[in-house]
């Protein structure tokens, strides 16, 4: 498996409230995370950083080999619930952080499958032999309007309340998350990203970058460059993971 994580402040924001990374545990299994913080007085920075640091520590020190999707799903569910409660308590106890929260999209990636969890509107896309598609569901007001047929997907692109989230990590005592598992084959690619990328770069443009001949590092930088060329009003964060079958070399 090849991977790269990049985050960029963008061209407008004075600081970066996104966070994330790709982390290996002692069994060689990867955990990829993208978290887009929100809240005043830099509290978004606090929420996304606390989330990533907590999950990284738990992943590197206490996670198992993740032999089955059920094991991965259980780990993600329990650890995300734990950090949600920690964020909520922290925001209640620290006046400057009241109301803070963060989106999260996280993927446990083995050589056979990837288990994905998400809360909010940071996304996961999958490229495989069937094409390129978004595999997570945005927990946003606009997406709910699209799902219920009240507005079209085209209308959603420029809706004035596009950034209103229906779920976020850390804003309530309990949080619901989506968790699912997908099976991988050779050359499949996962893209995890914050809305600083998905709001600027179309799926067709994403597909063009993923399928070009550049290496993974060049592809990741192309995403950042394109989002900034289109305005860069938000922080831009992404994780790219490409799978290959190395079983024959064993």
Percent of the chain beyond pLDDT 90?
80
Residues 6+ apart with CB under 8 A from 92: 98
Q: What is the pLDDT of residue 249?
A: 35
Work out the angle at residue 58's Cα, subtended by the Cα atoms of residues 46 and 121, and round it to the nearest 5 degrees. 50
Alpha-helical regions (H) of the chain: 43-62, 69-93, 141-147, 153-157, 195-198, 203-210, 216-229
Percent of the chain beyond pLDDT 70?
96
Element (H, E) at 105: strand 104-109
Hey, is 79 helix, strand or coil? helix
pLDDT tens-place values along the chain, 250 residues long: 999 999 999 999 989 999 999 999 999 999 999 999 998 656 999 999 999 999 999 999 999 999 999 999 999 999 999 999 999 999 999 988 998 999 999 999 998 999 999 999 999 999 999 999 999 999 988 888 888 888 877 777 777 777 789 999 999 999 999 999 999 888 999 999 999 999 999 999 999 999 999 999 999 999 999 999 999 999 999 999 999 765 433 3
């Amino acid at each position: 498996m090849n991977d790269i994580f990049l985050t960029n402040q963008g061209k407008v924001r004075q600081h970066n409230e996104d966070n994330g990374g790709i982390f290996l545990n002692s069994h060689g299994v990867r955990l990829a995370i993208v978290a887009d913080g929100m809240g005043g007085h830099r509290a978004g920075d606090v929420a996304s950083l606390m989330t990533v640091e907590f999950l990284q520590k738990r992943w590197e020190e206490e996670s198992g080999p993740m032999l089955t999707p059920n094991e991965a799903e259980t780990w993600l569910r329990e650890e995300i619930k734990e950090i949600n409660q920690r964020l909520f308590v922290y925001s209640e106890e620290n006046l400057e952080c009241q109301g803070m929260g963060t989106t999260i999209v996280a993927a446990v990636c083995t050589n056979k499958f990837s288990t994905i969890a998400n809360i909010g509107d940071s996304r996961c896309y999958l490229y495989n032999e069937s094409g390129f598609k978004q595999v997570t569901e945005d927990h946003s007001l606009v997406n709910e309007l699209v799902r219920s047929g009240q507005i079209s997907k085209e209308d959603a692109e420029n809706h004035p309340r596009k950034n209103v989230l229906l779920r976020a990590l850390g804003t309530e005592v309990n949080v619901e998350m989506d968790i699912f598992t997908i099976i991988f084959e050779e050359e499949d690619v996962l893209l995890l990203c914050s809305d600083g990328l998905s709001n600027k770069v179309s799926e067709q443009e994403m597909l063009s970058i993923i399928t070009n001949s550049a290496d993974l590092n060049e592809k990741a930088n192309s995403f950042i460059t394109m989002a900034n060329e289109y305005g860069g009003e938000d922080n831009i964060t992404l994780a790219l993971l490409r799978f290959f079958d190395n079983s024959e070399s064993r």
